[in-house]
Structure 1
């Protein structure tokens, strides 16, 4: 599988989704709506860190104090009503139909340098597909750096595995059970992370890999079926980024999306999504349909 990276492409959203479902990646320059979203995130981040530079504060704080700060900062961003106003503008800026496109809550992610904090609230993700975590195969991932990033602190794609199965632990993952037992305990995992998560159960080749380095406020879009991982951060600076996910209701209804080559999880994340133009949830019948198919082992 060869992945192509398209910069500032002019294709429409339907064409782009078809290409994303085949493993392509799209990158866009910073634009007014993403710049506003990043500016809002920076306000919250700087307020939380006080007089410290958020990107270098890890060198001046005990790790437990840093983790506690993130445990307060991240939910403040995720659940802030301003985000539900800003995200539809970002999505519309990229040519999506707000009446047909649904999004989930944005996450404020961090990747600290030199193994300072790689578990719990600042989890360094092993190679994985979001589809191992009960995501629909029509899911599109959006990733936006809050500050400048480098090849040493972004994420890596492992495109040879887009259409190649990887033996993994997704069969033991159920989204509802994860929400009930593990999601809200992230802040308690500082020195290590004991939560059971789907991961490769065979050796995989991390090279060759693709690292995309957008500007601050730029947007990276890729399929939730892409195998990707957190790059071991050796930059000396903590990376802050925003990510969220979208689905188009026509894709959900038609079960259109990337191929399922190896996911065996149960449950669905569809109830996390709301419609851009009025924040209405995904129809419950669709969530139930996806849960039934997952239990039956049908993608």
Structure 2
């Protein structure tokens, strides 16, 4: 797996070709990302009564911590100004936003240890994003809000770029997840998994923890196997993320390989145009079909 650090924007075609060959891209010190961090930090500090967000967990009980941070997550996710700032991040990375669709823009909060578990958007286990969306030209964007440590970051598994991993994509259903989410409290954990997962152990011997500085943005393909690093530090991890699809890739049928995903159909309905907010409608793109047998 090649990891590249970029200080200049990259055009859509080159970005896609590099991501869909297994490369990871990190854009350094994006001005709009630094502005977004400043605003997100102010919101968190206000909600947490002036506490340092990444150490507030030491001072608040589980329910109070989840309630306060959950309110920030909800407001953040619904705020068009925050999304607009991240669209500026994409533009500063070279994305043609007039030809790009996105699905959502959440803040993810991963507490340390397990005393404050219970949030909906917390740690997530081993997965490829393509397992849930069934879209192999999807790109992921991920950025920390505070300084990271290897045990408080995001982990990738380069050996699985071409290697299948047994999973439950053939059985998982988004409709079942939605039904379970309706029965859960706002911003709290959902009983049904939010995405398919492995059906066999993952080899951790070649795991790579990606390190970024606040202001950096990680860009990877939906086919990359990854997971939240197990947070064994004494600080909470805060990050933001977005998933995008480029019209250029759909029209040119540029996709990452599908080595183990048996899910269907592609969930294009999750996405809408950044500039017009119209739902993404795809009628001709041929997603790569996995040839393995279901487990």
| TM-score for the superposition, normalised by structure 2 | 0.89
Deviations 1:199-223 (A, max 9, x none): 1111220121111111112100101
- Structure 1 residues 183 and 148: alpha-carbon distance in aligned structure 2, compared to 1, 3 A threshold: farther
Per-residue deviation, 1:179 = 2.7
Match of 1:157 in 2: 156
Measure how far apart 1:125 and its partner are: 1.3
Alpha carbons of structure 1 residues 123 and 12: separation in structure 2 relative to 1, 3 Å = same
Matched, 1:124 2:119: no
CA distance in 2, matches of 1:178, 1:194: 8
Measure the CA separation in 2 of the matches of 1:267 and 1:69: 37
Mark the CA change 1:103 to 1:183 in structure 2 (over 3 Å): closer, same or farther: farther
Correspondence for 2:64: 65
1:131 Cα offset (Å): 1.0
Distance 1:176 1:75 in 2: 22
- How do residues 8-27 of structure 1 correspond to structure 2 at under 5 angstroms? 8=6, 10=8, 11-27=10-26
Secondary structure, in 3 states, of the residue corresponding to 2:231?
Answer: coil
**Which residue is equivalent to 2:192?**
195
Q: How far off is 1:108 after superposition? A: 0.1
Cα distance, 1:92 vs. partner? 0.8
**Superposition pairs for residues 258-297 of structure 1, below 5 Å?**
258-283=256-281, 286=282
User: Is contact 1:175-1:268 (8 Å) kept?
Assistant: no
Partner of 2:76: 77
Could you tell me the TM-score, scaled by structure 1's length? 0.87
1:139-185, Cα deviation, whole Å (9 max, x unpaired): 11101111111112001001100111111111122234423433773
Which residue of the other structure, out of 238, 242, 245, is the alignment partner of 2:243? 245
8 Å contact from structure 2 (residues 102, 273) kept in 1: yes
Q: Distance in 2 between matches of 1:278 and 1:188?
A: 28
Question: Paired residue for 1:222, among 220, 223, 227?
Answer: 220
Note the residue ranges of structure 1 that are not aligned, 5 or more in a row: none
In the superposition, relative to structure 1, how do residues 45 and 232 fare at CA in structure 2: closer, same or farther (>3 Å)?
A: same
The reply on whether 1:98 has 2:118 as its aligned counterpart is: no
Q: What residue number does 2:45 align with? A: 46
- List 4+ stretches of structure 1 deviating above 6 A: none
Task: Answer yes or no: is the 8 Å Cα contact 1:26–1:221 preserved in 2.
Answer: yes
Q: How many residues are treated as equivalent by the alignment?
A: 289
- Cα distance in 1 between the residues matched to 2:264 and 2:69: 30
* 2:245 alignment partner, SS class: strand
Flag the 1:121–1:70 CA change in 2: closer, same or farther, 3 A: farther
- Helix, strand or coil at the partner of 1:109: strand
Q: How far does residue 45 in structure 1 lie from its aligned partner after superposition?
A: 1.4
Q: Give the Cα separation in 2 of the matches to 1:150 and 1:33.
A: 23
The Cα shift of 1:279 comes to 2.6
Give the Cα separation in 2 of the matches to 1:87 and 1:125: 22
CA drift at 1:64: 1.9
Q: Does 1:207 align with 2:205?
A: yes
Q: CA deviation at 1:268?
A: 3.8
Say which is worse superposed, 70-79 or 259-268, in terms of deviation.
Answer: 259-268
